[in-house]
A and B are shown apart, each in its own frame.
Chain A
Amino acid sequence: MAEKILMKGNEAIGEAAVVAGCRHYFGYPITPQSELIEYMAKRLPQVNGVFLQAESEVAAINMVYGAAGAGARVMTSSSSPGISLKQEGISYIAGAELPCVIVNMARGGPGLGSIQPGQCDYFQATKGGGHGDYRNIVLVPNSVQELVDCTVLAFELADKYRNPVMILGDGALGQMMEPVAFPDKAAEAPAKPWASTGLKGRKEPNVINSLHIQAPDLEKHNYHLQMKYKTIKDNERRSEEYRTEDAELVLVAYGITSRVAQSAVDMARAVGLKVGLFRPITAWPFPYEELGRLAKTARGFLAVELSAGQMVEDVRLSVTGAKPVYYYGRTGGMICSPKEVFGIVKKIMLGEEDK
């Protein structure tokens, strides 16, 4: 681990991808993640990599499909409206079981929305997004350092499970500067005997494909995918807790919002209120069991997010009706303040807030 350097979130992702062995990037500019595509344009030629600005997000994700199918560690990035355009390709990538990393530095929506930070792509990221029964592994870091760590992890998980991995950040994380340290390297990519590299002496051709035209074949493939997703659910849930040991109210927040929520927890603790924070680091698989365990001790939960209420549904599934689940959020690119969240916490603790 080298010494720490001050770096912008979007650029730190780019450098982490290079450290992770990513040598192919295909993307299209969009605010607020353009520093990442710009960083890759500058950096990849320095390491004999390939940077290509596609004609659209649709083309970019299909270039990723081709490169991943050919065996490369490959990445693309965008922000909310651009990620919507990539959904077609992501479904095909999931269907063909190709490893790749997709970064979404999300902004407010729907439609063109705003260019300010948002978390309103949670459903799209965690529940499918494109057509068909599939899942992306979704990492939701909350600092520039964690953007780096999650980027390296994303490439490792993508290769391990032959599955798309999304880093779901937001405009604030992408734009903020913090000191970061980079690991020396990521785990080596495994051999990819399935890739379409040209036969090169291999007897049987490799076909990269998501088409199973016979219904029983497709059902078999879907069962296989679901088994893989179960393995991921069992092994890759990640979360962090802060002052939850004796918490009567547990705030649940991810990404940039978890930092606001953590400050609100400190404000509550300062006046003697027993409040803690549960922070998912994987939004899919969602840490249902870990959060559910807190329902034994906590009296209630408060989901805080920059959406009209999306992750709150997973919080309810974790608690399965055992305890009240409250929601507080802002939308449109507005970020809630610690004081604002503390105000809601006080109301709940005094029994004045509706579920």
Chain B
Amino acid sequence: MAEIAFARPESLRDVSFHYCPGCHHGIIHRLVAEVIDELKVRDRTVGVVPVGCSVLAYDYFNFDCQEAAHGRAPAVATGVKRVHPDNVVFTYQGDGDLASIGCAEIVHAAARGEKITTVFVNNAIYGMTGGQMAPTSLPDQVTTTSPYGRKVDLVGMPIKVCEMLATLDGAKYIARVAVNNPANMAKAKAAIKKAFEIQLSGLGFAIVEVLSTCPTNWGMSPLEAVTWMEKNMMPYYPLGVFKTPEGVAK
């Protein structure tokens, strides 16, 4: 008897992604879709998608979605969740969206303990607008708006979102993962699932930061980009669970 070992999740439409070669959005979309399928909540899920490279995520997810303005996804998700508390509501946001223009919205959604889940994709650069400096760009990282490298004495150090949000009581689950290899992909999926389970149990806000590559705007091949991420991003943005409902991780 043949057994299907690998199939397209029901929560993912049968269309091709528009993402650049080597970009991790496709993998992360799939992990989110698999989790929603496994939790059997597709019928009551509302995704809130961002401005940025994943602006068209509603073309890929096979459930209800709302498109939010830049940075405002947590506020939009709050509105949806407060109208339908039984819906499973998540935001999918990039680092420009979440850590820069939408910093207030994510901080206050977390502080309120808003019962939503956030998938935060950090590739240390603005992708869609063509590779400008993000709040998460690393020191000395060259971008189109930091052509001499990010000068920390002028623009400060990158924001560590997980560490920052972990100080807020309303945030119940905070983890940073990466999808650079199969082992980490499995860990990333487990973290995303946990973040949705936190919402389903009504405990409060949950966020999973996913380190991601941007080969196009980093000016690298997909393989070089993975190596660059491992060598440069992971030391500054350590992977791990920062907070669980039981408390802040030691």
* Chain A residues near B (Cβ < 8 Å): 24, 26, 50, 52, 54-56, 58-60, 62-72, 74, 88-89, 92, 96, 196-201, 205-211, 213
Shortest distance from the beta carbon of A147 to any chain B beta carbon, whole Å: 25
In the bound complex, do residue B76 and residue A200 qualify as a contact, i.e. CB atoms below 8 Å apart?
no
In the bound complex, do residue A67 and residue B82 qualify as a contact, i.e. CB atoms below 8 Å apart?
yes
In the bound complex, do residue B84 and residue A198 qualify as a contact, i.e. CB atoms below 8 Å apart?
yes
B: interface residue count bin: 35 or more
Smallest Cβ-Cβ distance to B88: which chain A residue: A198
In the bound complex, do residue A200 and residue B69 qualify as a contact, i.e. CB atoms below 8 Å apart?
no
* Residue in B62, B64, B68 whose CB lies within 8 Å of A62: B68
A-B contact sample (4 more), CB < 8 A, given A68-B79, A198-B44, A199-B45: A63-B78, A67-B82, A70-B46, A74-B83
Query: In the complex, what distance in Å separates the CA atom of A346 from the CA atom of B44?
Result: 67
In the bound complex, do residue A197 and residue B77 qualify as a contact, i.e. CB atoms below 8 Å apart?
no
Query: In the complex, what distance in Å separates the CA atom of A96 from the CA atom of B79?
Result: 15
In the bound complex, do residue A59 and residue B75 qualify as a contact, i.e. CB atoms below 8 Å apart?
yes
A-B contact pairs, 6 of them (CB 8 A): A58-B75, A59-B108, A64-B79, A70-B84, A196-B46, A205-B64
* Chain B residues near A (Cβ < 8 Å): 42-46, 48, 55-56, 58, 61-69, 72, 75-84, 86-88, 104-105, 107-108
In the bound complex, do residue B69 and residue A63 qualify as a contact, i.e. CB atoms below 8 Å apart?
no
In the bound complex, do residue B104 and residue A55 qualify as a contact, i.e. CB atoms below 8 Å apart?
yes
In the bound complex, do residue B82 and residue A208 qualify as a contact, i.e. CB atoms below 8 Å apart?
no
Query: In the complex, what distance in Å separates the CA atom of A157 from the CA atom of B105?
Result: 30
Shortest distance from the beta carbon of A99 to any chain B beta carbon, whole Å: 13
Listed from nearest, the 8 A-B pairs whose CB atoms lie closest are: A66-B79, A62-B75, A198-B44, A67-B79, A66-B76, A63-B79, A55-B108, A62-B72
* Residue in A70, A92, A206, A211 whose CB lies within 8 Å of B55: A211
In the bound complex, do residue B58 and residue A207 qualify as a contact, i.e. CB atoms below 8 Å apart?
yes
Query: In the complex, what distance in Å separates the CA atom of A63 from the CA atom of B108?
Result: 12
Query: In the complex, what distance in Å separates the CA atom of A24 from the CA atom of B82?
Result: 8
In the bound complex, do residue A196 and residue B108 qualify as a contact, i.e. CB atoms below 8 Å apart?
no
Smallest Cβ-Cβ distance to B65: which chain A residue: A207
In the bound complex, do residue B64 and residue A63 qualify as a contact, i.e. CB atoms below 8 Å apart?
no
* Residue in A70, A207, A208, A210 whose CB lies within 8 Å of B83: A70
